[in-house]
Amino acid sequence: MQRSGGGGLSSSSSSSSIGGGGGGSSSAATGAAGVKVPSYKTVLLGDASVGKSSLVIRFVKNTFSNAMETTIGAAFFAHTIEVDGKAVKFEVWDTAGQERFSSLAPMYYRGAAAAVVVYDQTNGLSFERAQMWVQQLQLSGNPEIVIALAANKADISNKQVDIAAAKLYAVENQLLFLETSARTGLNVQQLFQMMARRLQQIKPNKQQHSGVQTLKLTADEPNSANMQTSLSSRVGCCSSS
């Protein structure tokens, strides 16, 4: 999937998953000669069925499916956006939310520049689990990691988590915070734009230890997505917004 962006740059995305005979695909983003594009490793964390995969699919492809599949292990996506006239590439690891895969999470958030912790506004337990993920990230030894808390499924009315309490928690823990809906697209792009702006405020010498890489795009050499091996497969499951 490729969408044209401004300033001579194009927005590109790719995804990769392995398992059940699946393979990866890639698309290229081409920039003006000499343009350097920062690339940020980003991890999605949260309970099963809170809508992590739906959020990243909405971010990367701007689509939503009522028949979203369950992530097994993790899935990898790469997507380049333009924020304030500058290209920014997110390399996103969408982790499985099932308890049996929780021990794998540190492998994915180690060295990450950013993390999106997702909870389901209609599930109080998922908010408690989100706080556990935030604590893990805070104790991971990377004080510069940018953490965003996504209050997902904002389109559903029967909410169990008080939004004011969630906002207060985010403020107290210096988290970015937005209500999101993968189903409607509410604030999904804005969430990653917020993270990009915060990441760009980090000094370059700190970024080197926070999962950031610099890619140089030229007019003659397209930015081929570096497809990383993903310990993932997907099986049919239920929808999540």
Domain boundaries, the chain: 2-17+35-224
Q: For residue 83, what are the CA distances in angstroms to 56, 111, 136, 213?
A: 18, 23, 29, 17
- 54: enclosing H helix or E strand: helix 52-61
pLDDT for res 104: 86
Q: What's the average model confidence in pLDDT over 211-236? A: 40
More confident residue, 106 or 19: 106
Q: What are phi and psi of 216, to 5 degrees?
A: -105, 120
**HSE-up of residue 223 (Cα within 13 Å, Cβ side):** 29
More confident residue, 66 or 15: 66
Q: What's the average model confidence in pLDDT over 192-216? A: 68
pLDDT for res 212: 53
Q: What's the average model confidence in pLDDT over 106-130? A: 97
Q: For residue 166, what are the CA distances in angstroms to 22, 115, 163, 171, 172?
A: 38, 17, 5, 9, 10
pLDDT for res 99: 66
Q: What's the average model confidence in pLDDT over 36-56? A: 95
pLDDT for res 30: 43
pLDDT for res 13: 55
As a whole-number percent, the residues of the chain with pLDDT over 90 amount to 59
pTM: 0.74
pLDDT for res 73: 73
Least confident range from 105-109, 132-136, 186-190: namely: 105-109
Matching residue, tokens 């804005």: 190
More confident residue, 173 or 36: 173
Collapsed DSSP state (helix, strand, coil) of residue 224: strand
pLDDT for res 101: 73
Q: Average pLDDT, whole number, for the chain?
A: 78
- The two tokens of residue 121 are 């506004």
pLDDT for res 2: 33
Angle at 179 between CA 57 and CA 14, to 5 degrees: 15
pLDDT for res 97: 75
- 212: enclosing H helix or E strand: strand 212-217
pLDDT for res 25: 25
pLDDT for res 240: 55
Question: Do residues 232 and 21 touch, judged by C-beta distance below 8 A?
Answer: no
pLDDT for res 131: 98
| Radius of gyration (C-alpha) of the chain in whole angstroms | 17
Q: Fold for domain 2-17+35-224?
A: Rossmann fold (3.40.50)
Longest dimension (CA), the chain: 52
Q: Read off the pLDDT band of 165 (50, 70, 90).
A: very high
